[in-house]
Structure 1
């Protein structure tokens, strides 16, 4: 009998999430490893969609794929407005944004990642000492 994703380690779930977002044309995908840094999750994945419609569709399809392949419960927050949708898959937390909203909150910077999302102006100010 072939192994299913429920038999695989969390890498299988992580790969499923990344593949789902790639299939749905997510842009500017950032994968932040949190293992050992936070008890929230092992991975935080941040990605953008080009519109609220695409953000909502990515979240719904991701939820359906995870439930179908793993049987894991998935919680979704922010779907009605779909400017910023959080998909909680337990060990993996996915943030899906419209680009303008992502630039405003800049979660990557909060978690110490030197990533500038598309559409955001890089911080070019010199540090004065």
Structure 2
């Protein structure tokens, strides 16, 4: 019996999210995303294990970064992530399961400052 393509197999689910984070960070770097921060949220949220926050310079750049990230995740076997916020591209959320990526325009990122909210011990560690 073959598993449904919508549901990850046990082997795919066991694929370390560290590998997914590496793919995400490389994709964001290739797309020229700015100020990328990676935050471990294990034990802080039941939604995900890791969060990545980054910025695009404009609406168009935020959209392009999200699109490139979605393609990179699929190409590396992580499936197609759920994406929200594309119509306006002020804040796009890319939900890859174990890792959630927030892509902001700079002024929107500054307003919400989610790095501080999710990481009390946030040290400003950027990639």
- Give the Å deviation of 1:114: 5.1
Distance, in Å, in 2 between the alignment partners of 1:9 and 1:106 is: 28
Q: TM-score of the superposition, structure 2-length normalised? A: 0.80
Q: How many residues align?
A: 110
> Which structure ranks higher in relative contact order (CA pairs < 8 Å, sequence separation ≥ 6)?
2
Q: Which residue of 2 aligns with 1:83?
A: 90
Q: Which residue of 2 aligns with 1:101?
A: 108
Runs of 5+ unmatched residues, structure 1:
1-5, 116-129
Q: TM-score of the superposition, structure 1-length normalised? A: 0.79
Structure label with greater radius of gyration: 1
Q: Which residue of 1 aligns with 2:32?
A: 25
Distance, in Å, in 1 between the alignment partners of 2:73 and 2:60 is: 20
Runs of 5+ unmatched residues, structure 2:
1-11
* 1:41-99 deviations in Å (ceiling 9; x for gaps): 11100000111111000001100111121142310000011010000000000000000
